[in-house]
């Protein structure tokens, strides 16, 4: 019988515009679309349309007086460009969503795929490794960028900057661009962070995001080290993540209470004004505090239940392994089995071909 031929991999490409074709080449398709928008900036006819996608919209120029000893008016007034939100920001979110997809593919191809070839992980660990790798790059980038913004805006010098000048209807270019990119990345979970009324607390939100991202970055770093068989380093990182997670939950609640209840409660404008975006009333402050505290409590409860369940599973696996190790060292035979073996030894069965395969009894005392 001739050997069966092994079926080789087909070299046929999937048809254009099919589901498989889009999945395999989605990064190239998205990059071409982003390049098409950027090329539109080079031509005078399409430049106004392309600028809606690339640049930040709704800029407002205000004159801010600066301190100085000179009496000239030109030196005492500084023009500051700020931004507010509007429907055109959806175009900006769409464009930077395309950029996020391209960067995702670049990190996957030039960093994570090379590490996966060296580690030889299973399918489950492979997907988790890719997820942690993508998120840790995003968290590191977001933390460094947010800290740079807070330093330049002066939020870290004095906590009163978190509520001074409320309502914060106008944003600086750095702050608006940061939240546009955050929405582009977290399109499935952060749509209300900028377009709805949460945008009035952007200064508090950027500080809370840094605390949350720091804990999540530690977790994904520990998981990558665990999959890479660096167990001596991953165990302390998991413990550090446990501490950072609890500290982040506590700091977010404390900062929210300090900013929303005590900081905004001291401001003179305590009236509801929808046109100006002023929601600084006792009712809205209580609603915000309740929402933040309940959400952080739910996250903490889910985290603790997961840790308790994990501890129980580890203790159960430990007891099973200890029992198996004890059973391998000593395998005692019961006395009933020994008696059965002795009785079987007394009866002799002869199934030889000489007597036609008939069973014969051994010669013994006849009754």
Is 246 contained in some domain? Answer: yes
Same domain for 102 and 198? yes
The pLDDT of 225-254, averaged and rounded, is 88
Q: What is the pLDDT of residue 52?
A: 93
- Are the CB atoms for 191 and 93 separated by under 8 Å? no
Is 343 contained in some domain? Answer: no
Write out the residue range of the structural domain in which residue 257 sits. 55-65+74-323
- Are the CB atoms for 120 and 130 separated by under 8 Å? no
Same domain for 195 and 96? yes
Record the tokens describing residue 159, joined without a space.
Answer: 């906590």
- Are the CB atoms for 162 and 77 separated by under 8 Å? no
CA pair distance 221, 243, nearest whole angstrom: 15
| Residue 90: burial class (beta carbons within 10 Å; 0-12, 13-18, 19+) | middle
CA pair distance 68, 59, nearest whole angstrom: 27
Provide DSSP, 11-73.
-PPPPTTSHHHHHHTHHHHHHHHHHHHHHGGGSTTTHHHHHHHHSPP-EEEEEEE---S---H
Same domain for 94 and 22? no
Least confident of 19-23, 131-135, 256-260: 19-23
The pLDDT of 200-226, averaged and rounded, is 83
Same domain for 145 and 267? yes
Same domain for 312 and 163? yes
Q: What is the pLDDT of residue 334?
A: 53
Contacts of 209 (CB under 8 A, 6+ apart): 142, 146, 182
Residue closest to 242 by CA, chosen among 302, 304, 310:
304
CA pair distance 179, 204, nearest whole angstrom: 13
Is 126 contained in some domain? Answer: yes
Is 9 contained in some domain? Answer: no
Q: What is the pLDDT of residue 36?
A: 93
Four-point Cα dihedral 350, 351, 357, 359, nearest 10: 50
Record the tokens describing residue 29, joined without a space.
Answer: 């398709």
**Which pLDDT band holds residue 35 (cuts at 50, 70, 90)?**
very high
Record the tokens describing residue 68, joined without a space.
Answer: 């100085």
Q: Rounded to two decimals, what is the model's pTM?
A: 0.61
Same domain for 167 and 229? yes
Same domain for 288 and 197? yes
Same domain for 314 and 293? yes
Q: What is the pLDDT of residue 2?
A: 43
Q: What is the pLDDT of residue 91?
A: 93
The pLDDT of 83-106, averaged and rounded, is 89
The pLDDT of 40-62, averaged and rounded, is 90
CA pair distance 250, 252, nearest whole angstrom: 6
Same domain for 81 and 49? no
Number of domains forming the structure of the chain: 2
- Reply yes or no on whether the pLDDT at 353 is more than 50: no
**Which pLDDT band holds residue 171 (cuts at 50, 70, 90)?**
confident
Task: Give the H/E segment covering residue 284.
Answer: helix 282-329
Residue closest to 149 by CA, chosen among 186, 96, 202:
202
- Are the CB atoms for 260 and 285 separated by under 8 Å? yes
More confident residue, 26 or 309: 309
- Reply yes or no on whether the pLDDT at 75 is more than 90: no
Q: What is the pLDDT of residue 326?
A: 65
Same domain for 60 and 37? no
The pLDDT of 101-109, averaged and rounded, is 87
- Reply yes or no on whether the pLDDT at 161 is more than 90: no
The three-point CA angle 210-211-216 to 5° equals: 95
Same domain for 144 and 47? no
Record the tokens describing residue 192, joined without a space.
Answer: 């209300």
Q: What is the pLDDT of residue 58?
A: 87
Is 213 strand, coil or helix? helix
Q: What is the pLDDT of residue 60?
A: 86
More confident residue, 63 or 109: 109
**Percent of the chain predicted with pLDDT > 90:** 13
Q: What is the pLDDT of residue 9?
A: 44
């Amino acid at each position: 019988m001739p050997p069966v031929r092994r079926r080789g991999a087909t070299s046929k490409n999937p048809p254009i515009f099919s589901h498989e074709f889009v999945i395999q080449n989605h990064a190239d398709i998205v990059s071409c679309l982003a390049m098409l928008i950027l090329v539109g900036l080079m031509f005078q006819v399409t430049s106004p349309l392309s600028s809606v996608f690339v640049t930040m919209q709704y800029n407002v120029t205000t004159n801010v007086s600066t301190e100085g000893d000179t009496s000239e008016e030109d030196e005492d007034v500084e023009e500051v460009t700020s931004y507010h939100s509007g429907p055109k920001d959806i175009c900006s979110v769409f464009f930077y969503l395309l950029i996020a997809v391209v960067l995702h593919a670049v990190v996957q191809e030039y960093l994570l795929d090379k590490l996966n070839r060296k580690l030889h992980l299973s399918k489950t660990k492979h997907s988790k490794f890719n997820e942690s790798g993508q998120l840790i790059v995003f968290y590191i980038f977001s933390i460094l960028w947010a800290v740079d913004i807070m330093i330049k805006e002066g939020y870290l010098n004095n906590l009163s900057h978190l509520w001074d000048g409320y309502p914060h209807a106008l944003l600086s270019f750095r702050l608006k661009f940061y939240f546009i990119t955050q929405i582009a990345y977290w399109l499935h979970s952060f749509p209300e962070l900028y377009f709805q009324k949460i945008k009035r607390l952007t200064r508090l939100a950027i500080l809370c995001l840094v605390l949350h991202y720091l804990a999540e970055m530690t977790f994904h770093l520990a998981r990558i080290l665990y999959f890479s068989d660096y167990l001596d380093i991953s165990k302390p990182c998991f413990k550090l993540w446990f501490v950072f997670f609890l500290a982040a939950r506590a700091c977010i609640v404390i900062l929210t209470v300090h900013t929303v209840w005590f900081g905004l409660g001291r401001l003179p404008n305590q009236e509801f004004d929808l046109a100006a975006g002023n929601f600084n009333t006792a009712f809205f402050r209580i609603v915000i505090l309740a929402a933040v505290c309940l959400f952080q409590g739910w996250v903490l409860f889910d985290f603790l239940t997961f840790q308790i369940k994990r501890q129980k599973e580890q203790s159960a696996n430990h007891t099973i392994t200890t029992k198996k190790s004890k059973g391998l060292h000593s395998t005692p035979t019961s006395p009933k089995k020994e008696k059965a073996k002795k009785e079987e030894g007394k009866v002799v069965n002869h199934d030889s071909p000489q007597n036609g395969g008939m069973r014969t009894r051994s010669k013994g005392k006849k009754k």
